[in-house]
Structures are given as structure tokens and as C-alpha cells.
Amino acid sequence: MAPSRTPPRLILMLAALEVRLLCGVALPAVRHGSQECCEAWDPVERSCLLCAAGCYKVGSEARDAVRCSPCPPGSFTSFPNALTHCLPCTPCLHERGLVLARNCSRDADSTCGCDSHSFCAVFSGQHCELCLRNWTCARSPETTQGSLHTEAVTRILIGVSVFALCILCITGFFTCKSCVLALRVPGR
């Protein structure tokens, strides 16, 4: 019995898909009929092999032809995929000091950032997870022991944001050799 032969057209399509997935080569998306979300269409099986960014797979090979649908509001996919659902958009939590910098779309997650009076204190990859308020050191009403010295204020650069670090001197001392660093937590 002769081995089954794979159609040459399918071999070329799978090779192009493999090159795109392994090498990141930008090949034009394949569109077929109403499958505007389909990145790679299999004409033999009449189903989508890979959905475009902003879409996800619906259907099952066993029941009907696999097709792609746009992500519903509040979800996204940012890459060609074979996912059966879209990813949820990242919420910008106000209690963590985050503000919305860019809305979520079908093909891109929302971007959260800090307002102009805050800096990003905690990063997760390229995303900000926690914003803290900027502040400046105030001169203590007393000029003796334990005072904060405005001349000892240091500005520290983190990314593109700056925050202040005040130096609190130990009782009876006023030089930096005898100082303890004290970082004031905003809101306290």
C-alpha cells in the first residue's frame, strides 16, 4: 500500500506558517470570505489554522469548520493565535494609584500609568503596578535635634520619575556621617 501523499499546496502553507511562527517573519495575512479574523486559512479543511491579533478561535474541528471571531469588549489578543478565548484587559486600579494611559482594544491591552504628581514604584515587566505620590521634605519648625534638613534632600531618579529622600539626623547630630536615611511613605 502506497503512503498517503500530502497535497503540495498544504505543505507550502504549513511551511509559511512555520517560518512566521519560528522566525517572526511578517507574511501577509490570509483572508478568506467572511474570515477577516483568520491569519492562516486551510482551504482543504475549510478552517482557520491561526487567528489574527484581536481575534480568537471558535468552533471545533470535530463538529464544524474552525473559524475566528473578534474579541468581545473588555478583552484582547495582541498576537496571531489559536486561543479559544481572548485575554481580559488589565484594569487600572485607582487604589494602587494607577490611571488609564491607553484604552484596551481588540488587539492591545490597556496601559496603566501614574499621574503627573506620582511615580511608578513597582514595575511588572514594562507595566506599572503601583504609583506613589511625589513629595518634598519640609523644614522642621525646630532647628535643633532630630530636624529634617532641606539641604540634605536628595532627588532620586527612577525611570523618568523623581522622588525625594529626606535625611533624618540622630538626636544631637547634624552631619551626614551620623545620619540615618528615612524614606517618608506618602500619606503617613
pLDDT digits (tens, 9 = 90+) for 166-183: 555 445 444 333 344 444
Confidence of residue 126 (pLDDT cuts 50, 70, 90): confident
Of the two residues 35 and 1, the one the predictor is more confident about is 35
d(CA 129, CA 61): 40
> What's the mean pLDDT in 103-130?
88
26-38 pLDDT per residue, tens? 334 444 434 679 9
Are residues 100 and 109 in contact, defined by beta-carbon separation less than 8 angstroms? Answer: no
Portions of the chain given CATH number 2.10.50.10: 30-88, 90-133
Question: 115 and 99 in contact (C-beta within 8 Å)?
Answer: yes
Any idea which architecture 90-133 has in CATH?
A: Ribbon (2.10)
DSSP state of 52: P
30-88: what CATH class? mainly beta
In this predicted structure, the answer to whether residue 145 has a pLDDT above a threshold of 50 is: no
Rounded average pLDDT over 2-23 = 52
pLDDT single digits (tens) 52-107: 999 999 876 555 567 899 999 999 999 999 999 999 999 999 999 999 999 999 99
How many helices and strands in the chain, by DSSP H and E? Answer: 1, 13
